[in-house]
Structure 1
């Protein structure tokens, strides 16, 4: 007997229906996952306190903290530790002991700037050693920058140098950070006689509207930096140097190229900057094992008008406009580019590419063991020397 190998029409139709349904389900799941990651990129959130504080021993000024050993807590240098939902802060110094068997590390507590660390059980490791200007040992005044986003709190850092410069610095922090991040530059700027503004910008925790705020990744925040330049110029600045950390670097580059005050911008100092967002987001997708089609859909969602109801973005982001490897020929001011080669969040490749094609303008010293935006923490003397030498060579008047 010869069997009929053809599917009955009824079963074939059922199979097609199941396949279509499964395909639709997969498509919906993929879209949902892409939407989740798109919102993770652009929706502001406070960095969590997830580092266990295992034990505190000793008494001030000789205290130690015991922590799980990970890729951050085992790196030499000086760091900050926020605790109690950011209300507490301590300065953590060198490694005293490392136990590979228990995977724990003991480090010095150099100071507790606020709060009671003995009562804390979790914290957040950070490069922010100075949580405020008082901790940085510099003069300051609380001011507000007036932008279309509202009144943005900032610190004016007037220098106590006997001959202050007419070049001012604007300090622009990175994504999910605060204006305190820029205070690492405050002491060297004070020594050089450069007044500075450590600013906040739209979407910061201090000013954000929780349900509607969305990061522009530099494509919108530069408007607030332009407003900070207004303040500086109205108070005597003739020139401005923009300092940018991480996403703050992307913001600085946009300000220097698009701002109505760009004529005042004479140089940039960028630390771990985002020079090419597509490169960063691609790297994060791979790190999170995100399939390529979903990663591409994620990028499409933050750059295309059709996804605005999903992302909540008023205007899609122009990532091409923030690709400074492609736009390298448009760079027109000197740049000090500090970027560690082991940066785990913003790969240093695009920074090297930019420095390679614009050797006429870009100075890029070699850093290799600092992770993301922690070059100062590893070696503050070297970082400050690099900054001082660059500013004195490029923009500050010679004696």
Structure 2
């Protein structure tokens, strides 16, 4: 039988050593937490997100041509204008019109349904609000040809939409490259097609690397414009090989950052006559700082996230092949280098890509930049809120720029 042992008292640890150990452990935990949060935010910046459908569809009523839809009221669904509604995992698409009724007590908004281009809207329970009003060129009522271009990223699908050959302006030697934003599709550029066709301008609505149409989502990493411009180069080359002599770049959101890089780095820079940019990323530092504040990230975490996407040591964390040069994509600092006429359309209530850098660039380069005032459209929805005004601003700008002697470029 074993003898019962009396437990000995544990040795007393001096408080000074306990304090040092606890402090060191706490510092290690905080450092790990900061690094982990920074890594998470850095990956969110460069990894394409899975398209979700967070908007609740409460009821669909009426018949074809006179349908209405009851939705949860939020900052997006309460903005006037016309929009796309994506549902059924992206397979369905409806065109949504004016606000018919708002019930603040129930938190609902009733809007008209202008058309259902795909899917069964009555069966939908959730959807995604979209600035892409048209699903494809057929829905926009314009002729098109599906084409395939090629870059180092592989095959790039695009819609080629011819300009009206009998257009009064007769800019038939001009092609427009339509560059959608982060997480979008080439359908986003279709809002620009009508004024372009009236000017006789042919359009290429393109997909680029990191799009679901181009590369498997698990392998995709956004370059924020620092790499995607190479695919725009392929589009410009296609246009020049098929009759274009002058090029206009259109860019929405991150597509604006891509357009800036194309205009400054393209092999075909001399053929680029102008840029038309809607809610563009003029300065990524400003955008990422805004997103950090929205997500309530402490300043050290935000700074570490920026280091992770712009330094070689963090490639294994972000999955980027090469670090991104955010300074090269800061066009407020690089304003003196701008050498193309630019139309900046940017709503001052944009809470995703702040409009301040656009205003700073417009003030710094008033000789080249035209920036009309928009103030109620949130992010990239200026056309949705007032398509007639948007069309007129674009047509007026391009008519003036393309009619100037020597508008072909450098």
Which category describes the TM-score, using the shorter chain as reference length?
over 0.9
Determine the C-alpha separation between the residues in 1 that align with 2:312 and 2:59: 51
1:324 alignment counterpart: 331
Name whichever of 37-46 and 384-393 sits farther off.
37-46
* SS at structure 2 position matched to 1:236: coil
Determine the C-alpha separation between the residues in 2 that align with 1:45 and 1:134: 28
Q: Over aligned residue pairs, what C-alpha RMSD do you find?
A: 1.2
Query: Which of 202, 208, 212 is equivalent to 2:209?
Result: 202
Q: Is the 8 A contact 1:167 1:396 kept in 2?
A: no
* SS at structure 1 position matched to 2:349: coil
1:230 alignment counterpart: 237
Name whichever of 218-227 and 159-168 sits farther off.
159-168
Q: Is the 8 A contact 1:83 1:122 kept in 2?
A: yes
Determine the C-alpha separation between the residues in 1 that align with 2:390 and 2:90: 27
- 1:291-302 aligned at under 5 Å gives the runs 291-302=298-309
Query: Which of 45, 52, 55 is equivalent to 1:48?
Result: 52
* SS at structure 2 position matched to 1:284: helix
Determine the C-alpha separation between the residues in 2 that align with 1:177 and 1:153: 14
2:276 alignment counterpart: 269
Q: Is the 8 A contact 1:46 1:205 kept in 2?
A: no
2:4 alignment counterpart: none
* SS at structure 2 position matched to 1:211: helix
Q: Is the 8 A contact 2:164 2:201 kept in 1?
A: no
* SS at structure 2 position matched to 1:345: coil
2:392 alignment counterpart: 385
Q: Is the 8 A contact 2:287 2:352 kept in 1?
A: yes
CA shift at 1:397, angstroms? Answer: 6.9
Determine the C-alpha separation between the residues in 2 that align with 1:105 and 1:295: 36
Is it true that 1:28 corresponds to 2:32 in the alignment? yes
Is the radius of gyration larger for structure 1 or structure 2? Answer: 2
Query: Which of 114, 130, 133 is equivalent to 1:110?
Result: 114
1:314 alignment counterpart: 321
CA shift at 1:47, angstroms? Answer: 2.5
CA shift at 1:161, angstroms? Answer: 2.6
Q: Is the 8 A contact 2:164 2:199 kept in 1?
A: no
Determine the C-alpha separation between the residues in 1 that align with 2:263 and 2:224: 15
Q: Is the 8 A contact 2:285 2:326 kept in 1?
A: yes
* SS at structure 2 position matched to 1:266: strand
- 1:170-189 aligned at under 5 Å gives the runs 170-189=177-196
Unaligned stretches of 5+ residues in structure 1: 1-7
Query: Which of 9, 14, 34 is equivalent to 1:10?
Result: 14
CA shift at 1:139, angstroms? Answer: 1.0
Is it true that 1:219 corresponds to 2:226 in the alignment? yes
Is it true that 1:350 corresponds to 2:357 in the alignment? yes
Q: Is the 8 A contact 2:252 2:277 kept in 1?
A: yes
Deviations 1:207-266 (A, max 9, x none): 123332100000000000011000000001111000000000000000000111111111
